[in-house]
Amino acid sequence: MADRLSALEQQLLDLQRKLERLEKRMDAGGLPADRTGTLPGTPASPTQTPGEDKELGAIAFNFTSFLTLSGRSLIILGGAYLIRALTESGMLPAPAGVALGLAYAVLWILAAGRAAGKGLKGDATFHVVVATAIAFPLIFEATVHFHFLGPESSATALALLSALSLTIAWRFSHQIMAWITTVAALITAVVLIANTGAVLSIEAFLLVLGLSTLWLGYDRQWALLRWPVALEVDFVAVGLVLRAIAPERQDPPAMVIGLLMALVGSYIASFAVRTLVRGRDILPFEIFQTAASLLLGLGGSVVVVRATHAAAEPLGVISLALGLGSYAVAYAFISRTRAKNVNFYFYTALALVFTLAGLSILLGETLLILSFCALAVIVTLLGRRFNHPALLLHGFTYLLGAAWVSGLLKDSASFFLGDAAANVRESGRIGWVVLLASVGCALTLNRKRESQVVLMTRVARLGQVGLLVLLLGGTSIYLVVVLITHLLGHPLEQGGIATLRTAVFACSAVALAASARRWAIHEMGWLAWVLLGGTGLEVLVEDLRYSGPSLLFIAFAIIGIAFILVPRLLSKTRPENRPE
């Protein structure tokens, strides 16, 4: 019994020592507590879970931080209004007040960068909002009300402030800061243009901002940031062109042309660096902005040159150099790595546009036609030699340009499809050069067979063959009409012209069908069917209306022979890609 009592006393002493050690640990803060603030093993309150307590604490913390930052922002704004009050009261001269206000805004932009560097994105956002609300309206006030800044100075101030904010946003990957700065700069630019009319200097600033946001998007994957800036750049470029061609001529034409070409060159150069140096594929934004730059920059420059009679040679040289450079880029770089990908077609299309524009600006009519004919033949031969569908399409485009400039296209269409008795411009010897170039391009169609014919090749073939038929047909009708008129001593009657046109339609259809059979070029066969249908329509519309019985006999005989020969020739056409 005594032993049991001794053991019980010993256990009580041990328990007392443990309780004493536990109290010491509690006094020293060493006892681990759970997230509810209770001792281990103590059941949590049924009315409050650990998750709810954490969520309520976070909400309370965020709301407190928001109020704190808002209060700090209001104090900062109060300082800006103090500077404004001192300036308006005359205690500070206007230049000193504007400079002090801008310095005050820059200070808080730097504070935003410091906060972002510490990972305090919320503080940085509030600081940049306040700095933007101070700086950009101050630039407007200094330009419009105080007249302290001129148009160029205000554009420079906008550029410097935007550059500082965007650099900090890029350095610390703060996309919200970049958006705040960009939107504020765009709004300020529009307001300045509306109040000062300084389109030239503001467009220069917007172009710099556009390139900055473009490369920010490339480096930080901020893809949407470049869109609003590019759209405003394009919109202001339209206004710049309209001002330049207005009767009062508000801006120097040379400066307008220089800025418009800078719009073209800067964006396209940026796209080239990304696609060539970085090896990336062209993006939808780049395609859109390239088209807009060519239309507004290059096209606008041509409009300004013609409206103001400014010197066109520099623009032509630049455009031609860009065209040759685009061809070199397309074939010296892209075709060696990933031939005929989307980048390849993008740069060849650029080369075509720049070359057409450059030659049209630099050369007179005769030299331009000869240049287009030479390029059409050379480029078509290269396209067949290297199996490049884009070059085939370029060759057709150059040939079409030569036919249009020479007047042969209009004359042939008038004889072949319109009033053959109408007075048309005689294209003379240069028209024969265009016709020979068209024959030369068409003869290259069977030089090399592709393993697979792509859509672009078919379009080029259809264009070349169709243009050749139109030019040859129109020229043939013209020569026969002139010959018969000379022999008869009076103009040919409408019925004779209708029969002659029917004969040309039918012979062209038969010739195309025979060529399709000989060279297995299906596009010739397609055009043969089209011309055969046109022959029947010609008989119904013109021959039956104007021709007498004898001429109708000739017309029906010709069309009957064509209806027999064309289907037979086309039915025996070899498969397109089978070797001879």
Q: How far apart are the first and last CA of the chain?
A: 123
Distance between CA 393 and CA 401 in Å, rounded?
A: 12
293 contacts 342 by C-beta, under 8 angstroms: no
Vertex 405: Cα angle to 455 and 515 (nearest 5)? 45
Distance between CA 555 and CA 535 in Å, rounded?
A: 10
Distance between CA 240 and CA 262 in Å, rounded?
A: 13
Sign, Cα dihedral of 504, 509, 510, 511? positive
Length of the chain equals 580
Distance between CA 411 and CA 109 in Å, rounded?
A: 67
Distance between CA 532 and CA 469 in Å, rounded?
A: 13
Cβ partners under 8 Å of residue 518, min gap 6: none
Cβ partners under 8 Å of residue 61, min gap 6: none
395 contacts 383 by C-beta, under 8 angstroms: yes
Domain ranges of the chain: 69-197, 386-492, 503-580
Q: Count the alpha carbons within 13 Å of 573 in the hemisphere toward its beta carbon.
A: 24
Q: Based on the number of CB atoms within 10 Å of its own CB, is 184 exposed (0-12), middle (13-18) or buried (19 or more)?
A: buried
Cβ partners under 8 Å of residue 569, min gap 6: 510, 513, 514, 516, 517, 528
Distance between CA 437 and CA 447 in Å, rounded?
A: 16
- 487-522 residues labelled b (16+ CB within 10 A) or e (exposed): eeeeebeebbbbbbbbbbbbbbbbbbbbbbbebbbb
Distance between CA 113 and CA 168 in Å, rounded?
A: 6
377 contacts 437 by C-beta, under 8 angstroms: yes
Q: Which two tokens stand for residue 577?
A: 């890609």
pLDDT score recorded for residue 419: 60
pLDDT score recorded for residue 475: 87
Q: What is the pLDDT along the chain (580 residues), one digit of tens a residue?
A: 455 545 555 665 565 666 566 556 655 544 444 444 444 444 444 444 444 444 334 333 465 565 555 555 555 555 555 566 556 666 777 677 778 888 888 888 898 888 888 888 888 888 888 889 888 988 998 899 878 888 899 999 999 999 999 999 999 999 999 999 999 999 999 999 999 989 999 999 999 999 999 999 999 999 999 999 999 999 999 999 999 998 887 788 999 999 999 999 999 999 988 888 777 888 999 999 999 999 999 999 999 998 888 888 989 999 999 999 888 888 766 655 544 578 888 888 999 999 999 999 999 999 999 999 999 999 998 888 877 788 889 999 999 999 999 989 988 888 777 665 544 445 567 888 999 999 989 888 764 455 456 778 888 889 999 999 999 988 888 888 888 887 877 777 778 888 888 888 899 999 999 888 877 777 888 899 989 888 888 888 888 888 888 888 988 899 899 989 999 888 866 555 444 3
- Mind giving me the DSSP string for 325-383? HHHHHIIIIIHHHSTTSHHHHHHHHHHHHHHHHHHHHHS-HHHHHHHHHHHHHHHHHHH
